[in-house]
Every structure is written in structure tokens, then in C-alpha cells.
Amino acid sequence: MRSEYVFTSESVSEGHPDKVSDQISDAIVDLFLSKDPEARVACETLTTTQLVVLAGEVRGKGMIDKDGNWEAGAQEQIQKVVRETVRRIGYEQSGFHWQNLTFQNHLHPQSADIAQGVDSSGNKDEGAGDQGIMFGFACDETEDLMPATLDYSHKILQRLATDRKSGAAPFLEPDAKSQVTLRYKDGKPVAAEAIVVSTQHVPGYHEGEKEAELKAYVKKVVAEILPEGLLSDATEYHINPTGKFEIGGPDGDAGLTGRKIIVDTYGGAAPHGGGAFSGKDPTKVDRSAAYVTRYLAKNVVAAGLAKKCTIQVSYAIGVSKPLSLYVDMHGTGKVSEEALEEALRKVAADKLGALTPRGIRIGLGLNKPIYGTSAAYGHFGRKAEGELFPWERTDLVEDIKAALA
């Protein structure tokens, strides 16, 4: 490991066009799971000026009948959920308005060829919804066991959104991006080198006293989010560096589901298998296996067994058991990777059905409408509360220690 380096991560707000698409797709997943815990959803969303388009494959009781036709009122429910999601985000602009936008639904029944590989039948366990590789990661840089650059980037934008909605910052509009650059020494962040925040604003806040007000507000938020001692007179700020930012969201740039996979995960501090999460029910291992590897990695770090931990698993479509399990503790481990891999296999077999899609879904309680809240500000580093973010729990610490013993 390098003893000193500079690293950067970015985040985008819930009003960013790609994030609007992610949130709509996950709202559809939640709708289907609320009707049928065994529903199948693969929903892609396109957003642009006054337009939302859905496409993909679905299956679920209460929405699609046994002949593959829409149930009465199902499409109306979908449209209502889409408009409500856009309204909650805060878009009531001439170029993108929850009430006035054009909505198109091109979702259709799931392919029978895919279903036969994924569904359980007879002695065949439920198979993975696709082939692929998935990674989980944790590190001790923050209380959330997340890379500090990404954790702070998320929290800056969350604060902006909270203040916008409460009226504390009425000059803000929904679209925003942040970027945090930190200097590291011996694996720990020691200084903030640069802060970038671009936020959509109401007319007039790009010059004069109003621009100064906006910039002072952003600097205050940054100072409240970053731990004491990281910011200094040497920290470089770029707040709305292009100047005027009044046209934003899907009106300023088209959005698509799944285009912010690094923002959704570890900000570039860990590998990524390439599969997006939003719009996919938990039989899709792109989602569920990425969650369970984060769960395992976080518990390894929480147990004090490593300062950093990366875990990879792989699957084949229609096959239930993972093809591989790989652990890397980046030279910070207190046990060998081989010993930890064996311990995690044992814990997974006891608690998560040997990392099969069904075992993960049941073990983590993923067959529930819990995904809308995950679709902005990162899927990881969040607080496990009730049924939400179960992969952020640290309840495997003692199991892992016992398996190693």
C-alpha cells in the first residue's frame, strides 16, 4: 500500500437525471414486491424533457395475470408511482414536471426462456438470474465503514436536499453533483485537497450577492459534514464552476437507469462487476450478491480482522451456487485470506444458504419493497433500520470470529 496519495470520489443528487431514472425503476420494483414477494422485475427508465419511458420484463401476482396480461388497474398504478416519485424528488419545472410529463409504459411479461433457468422446480434450486461477477467492500476510514471520499460526497448532497425540501435553502433546485478529493497518509485521510459542488438553483443565483450567498451556504455545509481538521486554507473549492445552473435534471440532460454504478457502490475505491442495481428484483445476483458481499466485507472490518476487505463472488445463469469466492484484505488482515474464505463459506452456509440466490434473499430479507430509499446517495454506508438496508448490519461479527477459531 502507498503511504501517501490523493484520491477522489463523486456523488450525484436524487435530482440528477440518471438518479431520477434509478429511483423510478426501484419504485416499480417496490410496487411489484408489495403485491408479490416472488415478483420478477427488470425495469429500465429513460427520462428527458417532459418524458418518462419504462421498458423491460416483469412478472408478479396482482400486476400480471397467469396469461401474461395486465391486471385491471395495474398500469394506472405504475403511472401513479412514477409521477409520485418525480413529485417527491421535487420536479415542478416547465421542462420536467411530475404532473405534466408524458409517460410511456413498455414493460412486458418476463421471457419464458429466462424464467425456466431462474425458477426452482422439482429438485432444482432457484438459479442465478444471470452470469457475472460481484464485489463487496468495506474499510475503516469512516464510521459507516466506507471510503471517506464517497461518504462525504453523499452526505454533502443529502444535506442540500434536506435543506431544499425544508425551506432552509430555498434557492436550491433538485439537480446537483459533488466531488471530494482527500490526501491520505498511512491509509487515513488527513487533508481535503479539493471540494467540487455544482447545484441547480433558482433564477438569479449565479451572480452578485445571491451567488455569494449560495457559495457561502455550500461552504458551510461542507464544513459541517467533513470531520474537523480536514479543511484548511489550502483546500480548493469549485462551487458551480461553470456559472449559471438553472436548467437541470432530465430537461438539461437525458437520464438512464444504471449509469451511476460507481456512485452507487464505493466511489472507485474498490472493483465493480459492472452490473447495476436499480430496477432489478433480488433474484438478480447483480443486486443481491453485491449486497451480500458488502454485508460480509463490512462484518470482517467491524470484527477488527482487517482495515480493508474486498470480496468477490461469481455466478452462472440458472446455477444456484456461486462459482467462486475470493477475499483480499489489502495487506491489512490479521488472518490469512485463505482462512477467512473458509470461515466465510461456513458462515454463509449457516446463515445465507451457501450464497445461493434464494439463501441470500431469505437470509437478508430482500423480498420486500425496500429499494426506493437505496436508489439515491449510495446503496452502501447507510443505516440498517427495521427492514431497510439489512446488508449494513454487523450481526455476523461473532459468527465469523467463531468460524475462524
The domain limits of the chain are 4-12+147-248, 17-118, 132-140+284-404
Domain 132-140+284-404 in CATH 3.40.50.300: no
CB 292 within 8 A of CB 112: no
Give the CA distances from residue 385 to residues 27, 373, 382, 389, in Å, rounded to whole numbers and listed in that order.
Answer: 19, 12, 9, 7
How many residues can be counted in the chain? Answer: 405
Average pLDDT score over residue span 148-169: 98
Tell me the CATH architecture of domain 17-118: 2-Layer Sandwich (3.30)
Active site residue 280: yes
| Predicted local distance difference test score (pLDDT) of residue 127 | 78
Is residue 18 annotated as part of the catalytic site, yes or no?
yes
Q: Which of 254, 316, 339, 384 is catalytic?
A: 254
Evaluate if residue 146 carries a pLDDT over 60. yes
Is 253 tagged catalytic? yes
| Residue 48 or residue 113, greater confidence | 48
C-beta of residue 247 within 8 angstroms of C-beta of residue 95: yes
Say if 4-12+147-248 and 132-140+284-404 have the same CATH topology: yes
Is residue 120 pLDDT above 90, yes or no?
A: no
CATH topology for 4-12+147-248 is: GMP Synthetase; Chain A, domain 3 (3.30.300)
Q: Is 254 annotated in the active site?
A: yes
Q: Which residue has the cell 447483480?
A: 286
Amino acid at 43: C
Residue of 163, 253, 341, 342 with catalytic role: 253
Q: Is pLDDT of 23 > 50?
A: yes
- pLDDT, residue 129, reads 78
* pLDDT attached to residue 353: 83
Provide the grid cell at 234.
Answer: 489550502
Q: Which of 154, 164, 201, 280 is catalytic?
A: 280
Average pLDDT value for residue range 40-58: 98
Q: How confident is the model at residue 276 (pLDDT cuts 50, 70, 90)?
A: very high
